[in-house]
């Protein structure tokens, strides 16, 4: 019986080549998209699943509440003494470890030297010696349990080992590293690779906490309220009730840090986060890394919609051509074929088409992977021989698509009454119902496409708004030179002075961190007559006296910095605050210059700052966040390693060559680096840019698949009305009127879909825009434009066949009459 089904299915495909090609092409495109999205989501959800105790690994995060803020601030980090105290006090903890990422402290890259090789490496972490007892990494050489016991030891990645020593057998080899401190010698005690799986912690190297630099500070820090800069991890013993453990933490933090928290007038709560959920939590913590479950769920929904659009094509074309198969059904029923047998036959046809489509989609996906990876920023591979879950997805996709696409045609075609068929009559109610269903399916296709079009336009407009919005400073024509090596900082002033003499340079400034970089510094401060109870938390960066002029920041009150502000005779540091600081502290603009801000420290000490000026609010970070109280503190040139130049030329290669010559003279042996400030700011929106590319691509694909179905239906409609068109032409109908006659019904369906899609798209995109503190308004013309695009594409698609029918010779159409 199956063989018979297969033979009939193949015959029908060969007999109806156009419809078969349209269905297979649509299903192939849909399957490529659907399969890629499934692979992408599977890959994103695989992070940190490879650890043997993955379900027992948790990160300790912090939630802070300040007196001046209505909302609590959630951090993915905690204070240095918290993790060791948990290990010592709670028997539920099997192992624990701390991790410091020095990048937020200005140590974004490390300078490596091995012989004649000198280069920078981007990512290194400082960790406790118990790190590899808590997390599982595959060691090529070395003992993970002892690799980080000794000071100045280093565990490096396979790629870094090859880069440094041209081999992975690098055990006990030495190298010089400049980063946290001046140049020091490290010994390689292990080499790891990522063969076990992906992790949210994938650096180039690890160094132990008992080394100099950041480790020294962490070991000596007993701050329980502030200094929430390190990541803390716990591995619980099997059978631990994590919720019960978490319930003990309020008393734990009160016992150890209650006095400090009361002195700082802040509330702190410790929250446990599963390590396996870190990578997919980008909307909450770690916004600059990973992805989000909401985004992944949207992609899955998008994959389902695209495949559904392809399935709808099959349903529409199968039911539309039902009259051509009615006699076949009647004969089969007359000779005793059961309805179940007929349904099996029609389902086998849809399954065969799906198999052919998937058979085409898999090799095409393999070829298209580089292009799709470029769109999504992923690095996916199609490993059919190594990953059986990929085969499971393919099989599930074939079965689901085949059943969904073929179910309604199978039910509909197998329901025909043989007597009505042989009499040339059809059940009017059944025919009307099928026609209405086809219309509903076409509408649903274009509802999906229209929602995607509107969504793509809104996302792109929001992205353009964020990239082009006035950030309060000028980001264009700015080139940044990061001077990372600490031994080079004594030459920073000479470097800035020589750059300023170049004719291409309009201004030079130095900063501790430039806009677009994370700024970890903050301090709670109050004005005269108040106390820490009403203190405002203010973030701050360091800069020199040229900051305002170079970045063209508007001064609203007071004065700019001067060279005298950095002199040792000044008792208080000078600061320029933003507008939001004044609003948060209820300081009138005209009273701000000269006002003293105070912060109480441990032991009764105080830190005081004098406001010399007020600047316009500037966005140092993403526009999804509101501008917070911020201030710029003046500092000596040698403490400002980020050198920013304002250039007045478009001949960047010539200018950069001159800058490199100065760099080579002053910083011999240090690799030359530079970055364009506008590009660095744009990197803050990598997630939105990726989302925009994905939605844009899949919108085009959904629209293409919808048009394939519409084209097939227009061909069928033209065939059904061949004689009518011939008679109308004989009676003098124009080509335009005939084209409009055939296209009108389909265009009306598309207009209906726009009316349905518009409120749906408005609601969905309004929800998406809520995550941005500064956002666009969804204007009416977006819906009109989306509708115009959908109608135009639909009309052009239908018009191809309409023109062909209108141009046909009426004699041939009426010859049989």
705-727 pLDDT tens trace: 888 878 777 776 766 666 777 77
Give the pLDDT of residue 56.
Answer: 95
The answer, yes or no, to whether residue 623 has pLDDT greater than 50, is: yes
Q: Is the pLDDT of residue 454 over 70?
A: yes
Q: Which one, of 100, 124, 99, 101, lies nearest residue 111 by Cα?
A: 124
Between the alpha carbon of residue 177 and those of residues 271, 385, 488, the distances in Å are 36, 42, 14
Q: Which residues contact 561 (CB under 8 A, 6 or more apart)?
A: 543, 544, 545, 547, 548, 574, 576, 612, 613, 634
pLDDT at 624 over 80: no
pLDDT at position 147 is: 93
CB neighbours of 319 closer than 8 A, spacing ≥ 6? Answer: 408, 409, 412, 413, 434, 437, 438
**What is the per-residue pLDDT across 481-540, written as a single tens digit (0 to 9) for each?**
988 777 778 889 899 999 999 999 999 999 988 887 777 778 888 888 888 778 888 889
- The pLDDT of residue 479 is above 90: yes
pLDDT at 331 over 70: no
Query: What does the buried/exposed string (b/e) look like for 312-333 if buried means 16 or more CB atoms within 10 Å of the residue's CB?
Result: bbbbbbbbbbbeebbebbbebb
Measured between alpha carbons, how far is residue 85 from residues 79, 132, 217, 250, 252 in Å?
A: 11, 20, 17, 14, 9
Give the lowest-confidence range in 112-126, 201-215, 353-367, 562-576.
Answer: 562-576
In the numeric block, which tokens belong to residue 124? 């290194």
- Residue 132 confidence class, pLDDT cut points 50, 70, 90: very high
Among 156-160, 364-368, 806-810, the range scoring the smallest mean pLDDT is 806-810
Q: What pLDDT score was predicted for residue 327?
A: 60
Residue 611 pLDDT level (bands cut at 50, 70, 90): very high
- 8 A C-beta contact, residue 512 and residue 498: no
pLDDT band at 287 (very low <50, low <70, confident <90, very high): very low
State the average pLDDT over residues 245-271: 89
Whose CA is closest to 164, among 183, 187, 145?
A: 187
- Residue 389's pLDDT band (cuts 50, 70, 90): confident
More confident residue, 284 or 437: 437
Q: At what angle do helices 339-376 and 2-15 cross, to 10 degrees?
A: 60
Reading the block at residue 711, the tokens are 């084209």
Q: Which one has a higher pLDDT value, 603 or 84?
A: 84
Element (H, E) at 625: none
The confidence score (pLDDT) of residue 483 equals 86
Average pLDDT for 29-54:
91
Quick one: average pLDDT of 324-345?
64
Q: What is the reported pLDDT for 412?
A: 63
The answer, yes or no, to whether residue 544 has pLDDT greater than 60, is yes
């Amino acid at each position: 019986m199956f063989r018979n089904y297969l033979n009939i299915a193949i015959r029908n495909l060969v007999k109806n080549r156009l419809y078969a090609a349209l269905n297979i092409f649509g299903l192939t495109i849909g399957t490529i998209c659907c399969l890629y999205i499934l692979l992408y989501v599977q890959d994103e959800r695989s992070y940190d699943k490879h650890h043997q105790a993955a379900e027992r690994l948790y990160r300790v995060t912090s939630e802070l509440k300040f007196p001046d803020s209505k909302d609590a601030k959630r951090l993915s980090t905690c204070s240095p003494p918290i993790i060791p105290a948990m290990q010592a006090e709670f028997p539920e903890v099997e192992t624990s470890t701390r991790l410091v990422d020095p990048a937020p402290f200005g140590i974004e890259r490390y300078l490596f030297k091995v012989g004649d090789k000198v280069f920078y490496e981007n990512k290194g972490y400082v960790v406790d010696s118990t790190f590899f007892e808590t997390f599982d990494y595959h060691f090529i050489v070395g003992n993970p349990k002892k690799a980080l016991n000794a000071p100045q030891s280093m565990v490096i990645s396979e790629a870094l080992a090859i880069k440094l020593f041209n081999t992975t057998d690098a055990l006990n080899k030495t190298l010089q590293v400049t980063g946290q401190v001046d140049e020091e010698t490290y010994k390689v005690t292990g080499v790891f690779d990522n063969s076990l799986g992906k992790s949210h912690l994938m650096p180039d190297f690890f160094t132990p906490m008992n080394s100099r630099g950041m480790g020294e500070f962490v070991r000596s820090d007993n701050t329980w309220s502030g200094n929430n800069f390190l990541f803390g991890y716990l591995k619980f013993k099997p059978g631990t009730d994590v919720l019960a453990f978490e319930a003990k933490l309020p008393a734990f933090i009160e016992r150890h840090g209650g006095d400090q928290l009361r002195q700082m007038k802040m509330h702190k709560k410790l929250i446990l986060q599963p390590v396996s959920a870190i990578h997919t939590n980008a909307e909450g913590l770690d916004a600059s890394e990973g992805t989000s479950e909401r985004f992944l769920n949207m992609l899955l929904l998008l994959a389902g919609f695209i495949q559904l659009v392809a399935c709808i094509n099959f349903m529409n074309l199968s039911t539309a051509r039902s009259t051509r198969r009615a006699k076949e059904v009647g004969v089969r029923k007359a000779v005793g074929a059961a309805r179940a047998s007929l349904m099996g036959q029609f389902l086998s046809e849809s399954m065969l088409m799906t198999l052919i489509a998937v058979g085409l989609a898999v090799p095409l996906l393999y070829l298209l992977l580089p292009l799709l990876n470029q769109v999504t920023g992923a690095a996916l591979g199609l490993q059919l021989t190594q990953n059986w879950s990929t085969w499971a997805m393919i099989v599930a996709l074939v079965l689901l698509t085949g059943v969904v696409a073929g179910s309604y045609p199978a039910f509909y075609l197998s329901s025909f009454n043989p007597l009505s068929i042989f009499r040339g009559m059809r059940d009017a109610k059944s025919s009307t119902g099928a026609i209405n269903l086809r219309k509903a399916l076409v509408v649903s296709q274009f509802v999906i496409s229209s929602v995607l079009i509107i969504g793509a336009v809104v996302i792109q407009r929001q992205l353009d708004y964020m990239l082009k919005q006035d950030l309060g400073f000028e980001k264009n024509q700015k080139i940044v030179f990061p001077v990372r090596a600490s031994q080079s900082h004594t030459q920073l002033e000479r470097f800035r002075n020589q750059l300023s003499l170049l004719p291409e340079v309009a201004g030079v400034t130095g900063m501790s961190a430039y806009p677009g970089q994370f700024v970890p510094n903050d301090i709670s401060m109050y004005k005269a007559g108040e106390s820490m109870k009403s203190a405002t938390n203010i973030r701050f960066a360091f800069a020199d006296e040229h900051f305002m002029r170079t970045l063209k920041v508007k001064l609203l009150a007071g004065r700019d910095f001067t060279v005298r502000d950095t002199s040792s005779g000044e008792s208080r540091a000078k600061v320029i605050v933003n507008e939001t600081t004044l609003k948060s502290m209820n300081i009138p603009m005209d009273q701000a210059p000269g006002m003293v801000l105070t912060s109480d420290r441990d032991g009764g000490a105080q830190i005081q700052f004098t406001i010399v000026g007020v600047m316009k609010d500037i966005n140092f970070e993403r526009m999804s966040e509101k501008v917070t109280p911020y201030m710029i503190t003046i500092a000596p040139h040698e403490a400002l390693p980020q050198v920013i130049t304002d250039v007045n030329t478009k001949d960047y290669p010539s200018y950069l060559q001159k800058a490199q010559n100065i760099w080579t003279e002053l910083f011999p042996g240090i690799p030359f680096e530079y970055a364009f400030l506008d590009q660095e700011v744009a990197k803050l929106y990598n997630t939105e840019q990726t989302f925009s590319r994905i939605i844009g691509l899949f919108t085009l694909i959904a629209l293409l698949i919808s048009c394939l179905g519409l084209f097939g239906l227009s061909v069928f409609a033209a065939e059904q009305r061949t004689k009518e068109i011939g008679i109308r032409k004989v009676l003098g109908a124009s080509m335009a009127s005939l084209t409009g006659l055939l296209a009108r019904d389909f265009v009306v369906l598309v207009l209906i879909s726009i009316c349905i899609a518009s409120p749906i798209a408005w609601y969905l995109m309004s929800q998406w825009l809520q995550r941005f503190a500064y956002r666009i308004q969804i204007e009416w013309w977006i819906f009109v434009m989306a509708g115009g695009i959908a109608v135009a594409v639909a009309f052009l698609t239908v018009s191809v066949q309409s023109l062909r029918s209108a141009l046909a010779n009426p004699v041939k159409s009426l010859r049989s009459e």
